[in-house]
Amino acid sequence: MTFGYVQLPDLEELEELLSLATASRVCALQRVLAHALTGGKRFRAALVATAAGFASPDPRAVARAAAAMELIHLASLIHDDIIDEAAFRRARPSLYRLFGRVPAVLTGDYLFASAFNLIIDLPKSILKIVTRAIRFMCEGEIAELGEKNFDVEAYFDRVRKKTASLIVASCQCGGILGNLRGAELQQLEKYALNLGIVFQIIDDILDLTGSPELIGKPSLQDLNRGIVTLPVIHFLNTSEEGSAWREKLARGGLSPEEARELAGRLASGGSLHYACKVVFLKIKLALGALEFLPAGRARENLREIAWGLLTPLRNLNYPDPAEELAKKIEPFSRGAGNLEKVIGGGQEILGAFLRV
Amino acid sequence: MTFGYVQLPDLEELEELLSLATASRVCALQRVLAHALTGGKRFRAALVATAAGFASPDPRAVARAAAAMELIHLASLIHDDIIDEAAFRRARPSLYRLFGRVPAVLTGDYLFASAFNLIIDLPKSILKIVTRAIRFMCEGEIAELGEKNFDVEAYFDRVRKKTASLIVASCQCGGILGNLRGAELQQLEKYALNLGIVFQIIDDILDLTGSPELIGKPSLQDLNRGIVTLPVIHFLNTSEEGSAWREKLARGGLSPEEARELAGRLASGGSLHYACKVVFLKIKLALGALEFLPAGRARENLREIAWGLLTPLRNLNYPDPAEELAKKIEPFSRGAGNLEKVIGGGQEILGAFLRV
């Protein structure tokens, strides 16, 4: 199993469990599930497996927890598609467009139940983590729909719930299986929370800068739907044009022309650069938290996963400053030795990134 | 707590647990949840509580299982509304119409997670029953969407999954808490399965015959949507006009005029009568299964619940034979003594019903 540059302990049973857990004698459902399972980076499974590596737990238990996280993620993606009416997901037509709204709702529900079924025999703490994460995710998504809030704090609160909660839960479950407890588990959660925020901000950046081919879905979707992401919030709160754009966004989504115009402003006005800075700050916090965990292969892998998240920034068509940033990431993104230098160097080296 | 004529052991904690389990600091979500929780007969909670009455389990455990079943039922209703695009539910505008599709998807997910959260500390067998029931429900609903099948067996298979599975699960959970095991638990499941089928067929009948005021939603919805219910299946398979209507239904939903016309045919051609007969047969099977359970208050209450299900037939505007049937039910629907007579009399007395 690989994730980015990271070679992870193989979870032979993962794909098998995913197939088994989603097997159904109802042909229509089986077709939908097979479609849903294809593709995907298995990011949450990788986190469970990696964090579990702090000890040597039963690989079947690890595979079950990992598969459950993937199923929950998949269920939430499917339900998100209905919400977004998104036509593309993972570069293929979404379940919603392909099979209609109805199977999508039901397939999501089926996957939630299948996920619980997988982890019923694991420690209760894991079940509790999972149910809490789902509740958080729903709260975060509903908050996003509610009032238009152009405040940075509200943004981070939403992201913590919507995106980070399942990433945190994956690390928590892995950590528990990997025998981490107390302060160590808390540091792992801190790592995961920052990782989750990075994950979302990179998604925000890619929506503004990535080509549809690169990101597997049409770009500028967030702006078209009136979802205010971190670069946009920065722009609204710092630019002279902010209040004019605020009014447009408060009315709902932007037109394609308006969205393209605003995306240009975000690039030229430094708001994308700001978002990149926050990404690096959060990566630093994530890596810092890892320092408190037992040294060894598991910790190295968690580090690599964090750096691996930055990979898409390297592929951006967006020329500057992200490309420059990306070039500077490259030397550090392979091999733990170099990473030590980055982190060891602390504020100076990170500062070099941030000043790009 | 009452259900129909039945006075059930009070679950003081039920409503409190329902409120607690659905409490959220996200205002938008809280508003939606409060709307979702209002109304409802708490039928599944009543089954859990009643079946648990075969022993004296911790009332908090019973309340938790009962609340979980209600939350799962509610979640599935909310998701069904999206599927059906139904505008009315429980005589009030549906969540979907009131708050939009998005909060409805998320609120359903939130309720599923809340339900699991409630039962995490109960025996694992209960968690397994619940996840299996949800998977069955989804399979049943998806099967309903798939191919048009006008076969009675396919209908019962769908109903077993779609409607009966949560009713069976409620009785199973109650029975486990009530210390039933092995053959007794199997008989309770048989009771519940037949009860679930009755529940659905009465719903089918009411959709054809009930006034919107009575049933809390517009009538003839099934036909308008092209969902083939038991009376329709009987008509298609027995009437000379069957093949003509088959073609119309196979094309999708009927127009309002066509739906009214077919409903008239079902009443005059004996297909509603057939559905009533099946109801009584299934009630007989349900009551027969109860004979194998320990005598006492719990068993009496389960009997009363079964008879109570027939109550709506008494209120039908549909004059004959349902009204006649209903008159004959009345004397038997109160008091265990009379029920004994009905069941004790076996085929003869049931035959008298069926010959109406």
What mean pLDDT comes out for the span B202-219? 76
**CATH number of the CATH domain containing B37:** 1.10.600.10
Residues B148 and B54 in one domain: yes
| pLDDT classification of B345: cutoffs 50, 70, 90 | very low
Q: What is the pLDDT of residue B349?
A: 36
Q: What is the pLDDT of residue A216?
A: 65
Q: What is the pLDDT of residue A99?
A: 66
Average pLDDT for chain A? 80
With respect to residue B125, please indicate whether it lies within any of the assigned structural domains: yes
| pLDDT classification of A3: cutoffs 50, 70, 90 | low
Cβ within 8 Å, pair A24-B105: no
Our measurement of the distance from residue A17's CA atom to the centroid of its chain's CA atoms, rounded to an integer in Å, reads 23
Nearest alpha carbon to residue A144 among A233, A71, A11, A27: A233
Residues B206 and B151 in one domain: no
With respect to residue B354, please indicate whether it lies within any of the assigned structural domains: yes
Residues A238 and A288 in one domain: yes
Q: What is the pLDDT of residue B165?
A: 97
Q: Nearest residue on chain B to A123, judged by CA atoms?
A: B120
Query: By mean pLDDT, which of A18-22, B211-215, B250-254, B320-324 is the weakest?
Result: B320-324
Residues A67 and A160 in one domain: yes
pLDDT higher than 90, residue A11: no
Residues B126 and B244 in one domain: no
| pLDDT classification of B92: cutoffs 50, 70, 90 | low
Q: What is the pLDDT of residue B340?
A: 35
Cβ within 8 Å, pair B32-A105: no
Please give the tally of structural domains in chain B.
2
Residues A33 and A174 in one domain: yes
Token digits for B165?
Answer: 């599975």
pLDDT higher than 50, residue B36: yes
Q: What is the pLDDT of residue A100?
A: 66
pLDDT higher than 50, residue B295: yes
Residues B84 and B230 in one domain: no
Q: What is the pLDDT of residue A85?
A: 62
| pLDDT classification of A24: cutoffs 50, 70, 90 | confident
| pLDDT classification of B317: cutoffs 50, 70, 90 | very low
With respect to residue A309, please indicate whether it lies within any of the assigned structural domains: yes
With respect to residue A77, please indicate whether it lies within any of the assigned structural domains: yes
What mean pLDDT comes out for the span B318-332? 47
With respect to residue A272, please indicate whether it lies within any of the assigned structural domains: yes
pLDDT higher than 80, residue B85: no
Residues A211 and A156 in one domain: no
What CA–CA distance (Å, rounded) separates B347 from B329?
15
pLDDT higher than 50, residue A346: no
Q: What is the pLDDT of residue A195?
A: 97
Cβ within 8 Å, pair B107-A139: no
What mean pLDDT comes out for the span B284-305? 94
Q: CA distances (Å), A82 to each of A43, A76, A253, B83, in order? A: 22, 10, 17, 11
The residues, ordered by sequence, that sit 6+ positions from B198 with a Cβ below 8 Å of its Cβ are B279, B282, B283, B286, B306, B309, B310
With respect to residue A196, please indicate whether it lies within any of the assigned structural domains: no
Instruction: Check CB contact of A82 with chain B, cutoff 8 Å.
Output: yes
Maximum Cα interatomic distance, chain B, rounded to a whole number of Å: 60
Q: Nearest residue on chain A to B136, judged by CA atoms?
A: A110
**Residues of chain B with C-beta less than 8 angstroms from the C-beta of A110:** 134-135, 138-139
Phi, psi dihedrals of residue B2, rounded to the nearest 5°:
-120, 150
Q: What is the pLDDT of residues A146-202, one digit of tens each?
A: 657 788 988 999 899 999 999 999 999 999 999 999 999 999 999 999 999 999 999
Share of chain B above pLDDT 90, in %: 43
**Residues of chain B with C-beta less than 8 angstroms from the C-beta of A29:** 138-139, 142-143
What mean pLDDT comes out for the span A121-143? 91
Domain coverage including residue A336: 205-356
Cβ within 8 Å, pair B142-A29: yes
- Best residue of A101, A126, A135, A227 to probe chain B, by most B CBs closer than 10 Å: A135
Using DSSP's 3-state secondary structure scheme, residue B7 falls into strand
Rank A74-83, A225-234, B128-137, B200-209 by mean pLDDT and report only the highest: B128-137
With respect to residue A5, please indicate whether it lies within any of the assigned structural domains: no
pLDDT: is A253 or B333 the higher one?
A253
Residues B152 and B209 in one domain: no
Residues A15 and A80 in one domain: yes
Q: What is the pLDDT of residue A214?
A: 62
Ranges assigned E (strand) in chain B: 2-3, 6-7, 88-89, 92-93
- CB nearest B113 (choices: A28, A117, A131): A131
Query: By mean pLDDT, which of A28-37, A190-199, A286-295, B117-126 is the weakest?
Result: A28-37
Residues B48 and B97 in one domain: yes
Nearest alpha carbon to residue A107 among B29, B83, B113: B83
Q: What is the pLDDT of residue A353?
A: 41
pLDDT higher than 50, residue B58: yes
pLDDT: is B108 or A212 the higher one?
B108
Instruction: Check CB contact of A106 with chain B, cutoff 8 Å.
Output: yes
With respect to residue B188, please indicate whether it lies within any of the assigned structural domains: no
Q: What is the pTM of this model?
A: 0.82
What mean pLDDT comes out for the span A231-248? 92
Residues B133 and B232 in one domain: no
Domain end residue (candidates: A164, A180, A196): A180
Q: How far is A254 from chain B (nearest CA, A)?
A: 19
